[in-house]
Amino acid sequence: MRVEASEPAKQPSGGVMGRMELSLSFFRRHLEGREAGKELKRREGADRSVRATSRVYNPAMRKAFAVLFLLTISLPLFGQSKPDVDDLKKQAISAVEGRQVFTQQMVDQIFSYSELGFQEHETSRYATGILEKNGFKVERGVAEIPTAWIATYGSGKPVIAFISDLDCIPRASQKPGVAYHDPIIEGAPGHGEGHNTGSAVNVTAALVLRELMEKYKIPGTLKVLPGIAEELLGTKAFYVRAGLFKDVDIVLGSHVEASLGTQYGQSFAPQGLVSVQYMFHGKASHAAMAPWDGRSALDAVELMDTGWNFKREHLRLQQRSHYVIINGGEQPNVVPSEAAVWYYFREMDYGHIRELYDLGNTMAEAATIMTGTTVTRKVVGSAWPPNYSKVVAEVQQRNIERVGMPQWSDADQTLAKALQKELGKPADGLKTKVDELKPPSPDTELGGSDDVGDISWNAPMVYLRYPANIPHTPGHSWADGVAEATPIAHKGSTAGAKVQALTALDFLLSPELVKRAWDYFKDVQTKDAKYTPLIGADDKPAIEFNQQKMEKFLPELRKYYYDPAKYKNYMEQLGIQYPTVKK
Ligand SMILES: [Zn+2]
């Protein structure tokens, strides 16, 4: 772990209070809320009546005013619990709107970096640079992952953490604003999932919150973290193991979608998994002259796969398992001394994932017995199925409804419909209504996995879906990159930043709400299942992954890095007419 020498974060003057007893900080928060509100009104020139009455002071009136004053400051303690939250929210919304150019530049910049999991060097340098410049203290290389970091501002409780992914997709290079496959660099990685927008959402929200916290002396701590190598499900279990969420009160994740919404519970959630590579080791020999001297590692791979495919019929219907052979030997006249296969074992809960993984390990061992080889394994990724907080989701939903969907232009809708047509999907364009908050479905839904699941079992968490993509895209492909550096992504990220900021304010200003989220977390969310990591004590993050792939494309990619000093947006830099659609 490496702690970068950086300027100590500027502490808000309310920081010391944050460490005090809950009740005290609660009391003070109400006072500060009132002061904040008063200052607001003063600025708006709305407290003329107070100034007018102050001219008619006399001792009797002063006493009456004193009683009245005491009454009003004590009222919120027993009455309403959130004074002036609304004023602060209005300010937060206009501050996010005031940062639209900043948000757009961040979206475009990270899009142009296009870095694969564990190789997010430029992206992390860029994001941490912004946060440091804005008073956040940055610790780099956390959890033994070179591109991971944690940025902190403020002090004391509550601790609100923001997280969003950074990595991109192999072979997904795509010109933004073009409604058909047209890569910037043929075969290169690209943001074909839209992870370039998440940091723009969270960082914009964090900077706005920092300003408000400083201005109104709101105690609390903000933490911003990147989802490194999410596409490999490669880091969150290691984050948890490194204790990054130990003192976190509320986690506000954000992920790109074609809609604005949130969810709670488990059955909306994707599956959990273990992603593991089995490396078989045999003995090389001439495949024709002395095959009896050889021990084929490839035989072991094939026997393991055959065994697994027979077993598949007798596994629960909820399981999903798949593999690719990543090393099948060198050439046919050499008995392969090395061969490897990469498995994903997906299931619905920890117990079943563990069972499937153990079964895989047994089959790998069995294959070595049949072939006289040995096996070693490397866990590449793991994920618990997510378990989102109902308390936090309900708070977030109110903010989602308040913020609403972005105003799409004709050009935005034209791009969306043209892409949908290109993909052979219903050409119904972009969504114009926010999603309702639905109770978790009783039917389990199968699907992909996301390693934020591990975090959601360690603190009350929700995952905001913000509307920065086009509906009906296939995911993980060039098509999902089409909108990701266009006004669709820019406006969607601004909407997301507003919701994140408003939801954080709700929890920063109400210790009761934080307590309710934790009560629910303990009494409901984790009542029947406790978090046990799927990674072992000796497992290490797969930080060498994607290194070669990235090195191959870096020289070309560098030529296309976005330069905001020269170009208003990335499409302008690339000379793209918005939208570019087939005639
Ligand atoms: Zn993702």
pLDDT, tens digit, 9 for 90 and up, residues 228-268: 999 999 999 999 999 999 999 999 999 999 999 999 998 65
CA distances from 362 to 255, 307, 355, 358, 521 (A): 36, 11, 11, 6, 36
Give the separation between CA 190 and CA 120, rounded to whole angstroms. Answer: 12
Ligand 1 midpoint to CA 151 (Å): 21
- CA 492 – ligand 1 centroid, Å: 16
pLDDT of 31 strictly over 80? no
Mean pLDDT of the chain: 88
**Pairing, β 220-227 against β 159-165:** parallel
Average pLDDT score over residue span 291-296? 98
Distance from Cα 476 to the centre of ligand 1, integer Å = 8
**Which DSSP helix (H) or strand (E) runs through 116?**
none
pTM to 2 decimal places: 0.84
As a whole number, mean pLDDT of residues 438-452 equals 78
* CA of residue 231 to ligand 1 center, whole Å: 7
Phi/psi at 467 (5° precision): -85, 75
Q: Using the mean position of ligand 1's atoms as its centre, give its distance from the Cα of residue 516 in Å.
A: 29
CA of 229 to the centre of ligand 1 (A): 10
Is residue 134 within 8 A of residue 7, CB to CB? The reply is no
> DSSP H helical segments within 79-178, as ranges?
85-98, 100-113, 121-133
Average the pLDDT over 475-480 and give the result: 96
Residue 387 backbone class (left: φ over 0; alpha: ψ -120 to 50; beta: rest): beta
Give the bridge partners for 345, in sequence order. 274, 321
Ligand 1 centroid distance, CA of 515 (Å): 30
Q: How far is the CA of 57 from the centre of ligand 1 (A)?
A: 63
Length of the chain, in residues: 583
Residue 480 CA to ligand 1 center (angstroms) comes to 11
Q: Which residues contact 216 (CB under 8 A, 6 or more apart)?
A: 32, 33, 35, 36, 39, 88
In angstroms, what is the span from residue 193 Cα to ligand 1's centroid?
6
Q: How far is the CA of 135 from the centre of ligand 1 (A)?
A: 28
What's the CA-to-centroid distance between 341 and ligand 1, angstroms?
24
Residue 195 CA to ligand 1 center (angstroms) comes to 6
pLDDT at position 6 over 70: no
E strands, 418-497, in order: 461-467
Q: What is the pLDDT of residues 529-558, one digit of tens each?
A: 999 999 999 999 999 999 999 999 999 999
Helix (H, G, I), strand (E, B) or coil at 483: coil
- Nearest in space to 334 (alpha carbons), one of 392, 294, 374, 382: 294
Residue with tokens 């895209």: 473
Q: How far is the CA of 530 from the centre of ligand 1 (A)?
A: 25
> Residue 239 Cα, ligand 1 centroid: separation in angstroms?
17
Q: Which amino acid is at 579?
A: P
Separation of 254 CA from ligand 1 center, angstroms?
10
Q: How far is the CA of 164 from the centre of ligand 1 (A)?
A: 9
Say what the pLDDT of residue 49 is.
Answer: 35
CA of 49 to the centre of ligand 1 (A): 53
- Residue 240 · residue 148 · CB < 8 Å: no
The whole-number pLDDT of residue 563 equals: 98
With a CB cutoff of 8 Å and minimum separation 6, the contacts of 577 are: 177
Least confident of 52-61, 130-139, 440-449, 461-470: 52-61
Nearest to 383 by CA among 316, 492, 484, 457: 457
Task: List the one residue out of 278, 219, 203, 193 whose CA is nearest residue 483.
Answer: 193
Take residue 525 and report the two structure tokens written for it.
């969310």
Distance 306 CA to ligand 1 centre (A): 32
Identify the band that residue 28 occupies on the pLDDT scale cut at 50, 70 and 90. Answer: very low
How is domain 87-267+389-574 classified at the CATH fold level? Aminopeptidase (3.40.630)
What contacts 225, CB < 8 A, 6 or more positions away? 148, 149, 150, 151, 161, 162, 163, 239, 244
Is 562 strand, coil or helix?
coil
Question: Is 22 a residue whose pLDDT tops 60?
Answer: no
- With CA atoms as reference, report the closest residue to 101 among 421, 384, 571, 491: 491
Tokens of 336: 């392969």
The whole-number pLDDT of residue 37 equals 38
Q: Is residue 44 very low, low, confident or very high in pLDDT (cuts 50, 70, 90)?
A: very low
403 Cα to the center of ligand 1, angstroms: 23
- The arithmetic mean of pLDDT across residues 7-14, rounded, is 35
- For the chain, domain boundaries: 87-267+389-574, 272-383
**pLDDT digit string, tens, across residues 178-194:** 999 999 999 999 999 99
Place 12 in a pLDDT band, splitting at 50, 70 and 90.
Answer: very low
Q: How much distance in Å is there from the Cα of 122 to the middle of ligand 1?
A: 19
Compute the average pLDDT of residues 100-127.
Answer: 98
Residue range 336-394, pLDDT digits in tens = 999 999 999 999 899 999 999 999 999 999 999 999 999 999 999 999 999 999 999 99
Rounded to 5°, angle at Cα 73 from 67 and 75: 95
Confidence of residue 42 (pLDDT cuts 50, 70, 90): very low
Residue 63: predicted pLDDT? 54
How far apart are the C-alpha atoms of 265 and 440, rounded to whole Å?
6
Alpha carbons 289 and 533: distance in angstroms, whole number: 49
Expressed in angstroms and rounded, the spacing between residue 257 Cα and the centre of ligand 1 is 9
Q: State the Cα–Cα distance between residues 481 and 468, nearest whole angstrom.
A: 10
Give the Å distance between the CA of 165 and the centre of ligand 1: 7
Give residue 328 CA to ligand 1 midpoint distance, Å.
30
Overall fold of domain 272-383: Alpha-Beta Plaits (3.30.70)
CB under 8 Å to 545, separation ≥6 — which residues? 116, 117, 118, 119, 229, 232, 234, 380
Q: How far is the CA of 238 from the centre of ligand 1 (A)?
A: 18
pLDDT band with cut points at 50, 70 and 90 for residue 269: low
- Enumerate residues with CB within 5 Å of ligand 1 (an ion): 193
Task: Pick the range with the lowest mean pLDDT from 165-174, 207-216, 443-452.
Answer: 443-452
Higher-confidence residue of 9 and 562: namely 562
Q: How far is the CA of 72 from the centre of ligand 1 (A)?
A: 48
pLDDT confidence band for 448 (50 / 70 / 90): confident
Alpha helix positions (H), 99-247: 100-113, 121-133, 198-215, 236-241
